[in-house]
């Protein structure tokens, strides 16, 4: 990969779309976005063990290498990089990249070593593929902000693009983990989207108090999925991730909810 890139970069600009595979239309949109900002796009597929805690779903994370390659091709992606875990983390591996404060809240509070794994693999992929442009999805909002910070702090000469969340027709944010739901459970997965839409409507009606909005969101979630377990519902400034009490411009609401043991995340800009 590195020698391919060394030659390639003399004549073309490179776009990078890092993924964990099992691609859906959200990923396709990232590849298309990258193609608009670079000559050739490298899509990487790597289910990164370093970002999963021991109790998480690393082993059952869905995989479909053949289908992925077809989707990448049809999106216009020309290069796929699918490394082995033992090549990425060989014996005696011991180097990690960490972003401080931004990694500590929200997802970072629920999944303590998660972002350390994410920033490390992405730094490695940056060094392997040397992109001019990288594209991440807004669906993983905090991930995008942490990685943008890492890219900037470490002086990577890479344009960082965050692409909008792609949703199913009914509003569910696309995610490889949606596959875990049985047809019977699937409607209940809309709890997050319904709650976010409710928040957005409330803000439109000039209700700006986050505790009032949060209470209503909780009710919507319980009504949609009575067994839902809410991990967090947070209102933060889009860029700094600082908590917001009263909705102001650039406030984003993000949440994590367990629906039938599947941990989903979603977010929506409220103003």
Residues that bind a second copy (CB under 8 A): 2, 6, 10, 93-102, 119, 123-124, 127-128, 130, 149-150, 153-157
* Residues across the chain: 271
Instruction: Tell me how far, at minimum, the Cβ of 171 lies from a second copy, in Å.
Output: 34
Instruction: Tell me how far, at minimum, the Cβ of 105 lies from a second copy, in Å.
Output: 13
Q: Are 44 and 125 in contact (CB under 8 A)?
A: yes
Those residues whose C-beta lies under 8 Å from the C-beta of residue 268, and which sit 6 or more positions away, are 196, 197, 199, 200, 252, 253
Pick from 232, 240, 256: which is nearest to 177 by CA?
256
Instruction: Tell me how far, at minimum, the Cβ of 227 lies from a second copy, in Å.
Output: 38
Which of 193/238 has CB closer to a second copy? 238
Rounded to an integer, what distance in angstroms lies between the CA atom of residue 127 and that of residue 124?
5
Which of 100/226 has CB closer to a second copy? 100
Strand-strand pairing, 251-259 and 133-137? unpaired
Instruction: Tell me how far, at minimum, the Cβ of 99 lies from a second copy, in Å.
Output: 5
Instruction: Tell me how far, at minimum, the Cβ of 241 lies from a second copy, in Å.
Output: 11
Handedness of CA 227, 108, 43, 159 (dihedral sign): positive
b/e burial code for range 146-155 (CB count within 10 A of at least 16 → b): bbbbbbeeee
Catalytic positions are 27
Rounded to an integer, what distance in angstroms lies between the CA atom of residue 148 and that of residue 113?
18
Which of 102/213 has CB closer to a second copy? 102
Rounded to an integer, what distance in angstroms lies between the CA atom of residue 89 and that of residue 76?
30
Handedness of CA 251, 252, 258, 260 (dihedral sign): positive
Q: Bridge-partner residues for 238, per DSSP? A: none
Which of 95/182 has CB closer to a second copy? 95
Which of 128/207 has CB closer to a second copy? 128
């Amino acid at each position: 990969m590195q020698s391919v890139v060394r030659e390639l970069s003399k004549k073309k600009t490179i776009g990078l779309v890092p993924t964990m595979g099992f691609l859906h239309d959200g990923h396709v949109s990232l590849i298309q976005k990258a193609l608009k900002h670079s000559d050739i796009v490298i899509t990487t597929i790597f289910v990164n063990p370093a970002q999963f805690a021991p109790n998480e779903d690393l082993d059952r994370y869905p995989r479909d290498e053949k289908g992925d390659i077809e989707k990448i091709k049809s999106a216009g992606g020309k290069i796929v990089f699918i490394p082995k875990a033992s090549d990425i983390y060989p014996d005696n591996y011991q180097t990690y990249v960490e972003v401080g404060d931004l990694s500590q809240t929200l997802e970072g509070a629920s999944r303590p070593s998660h972002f350390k794994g994410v920033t490390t693999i992405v730094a490695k992929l940056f060094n392997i593929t040397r992109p001019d442009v990288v594209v991440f999805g807004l669906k993983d909002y905090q991930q995008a902000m942490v990685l943008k910070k890492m890219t900037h702090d470490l002086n990577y000469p890479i344009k960082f693009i965050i692409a909008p969340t792609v949703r199913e027709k009914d509003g569910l944010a696309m995610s490889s983990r949606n596959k875990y739901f049985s047809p019977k459970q699937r409607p209940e997965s809309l709890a997050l989207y319904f709650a976010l839409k409710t928040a957005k409507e409330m803000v439109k009606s000039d209700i700006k108090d986050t505790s009032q909005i949060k209470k209503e969101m909780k009710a919507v979630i319980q009504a949609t999925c009575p067994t839902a377990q809410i991990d967090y519902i947070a209102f933060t400034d889009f860029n700094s991730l600082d908590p917001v009490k009263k909705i102001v411009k650039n406030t984003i609401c993000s949440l994590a909810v367990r629906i039938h043991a599947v941990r989903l995340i979603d977010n929506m800009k409220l103003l």
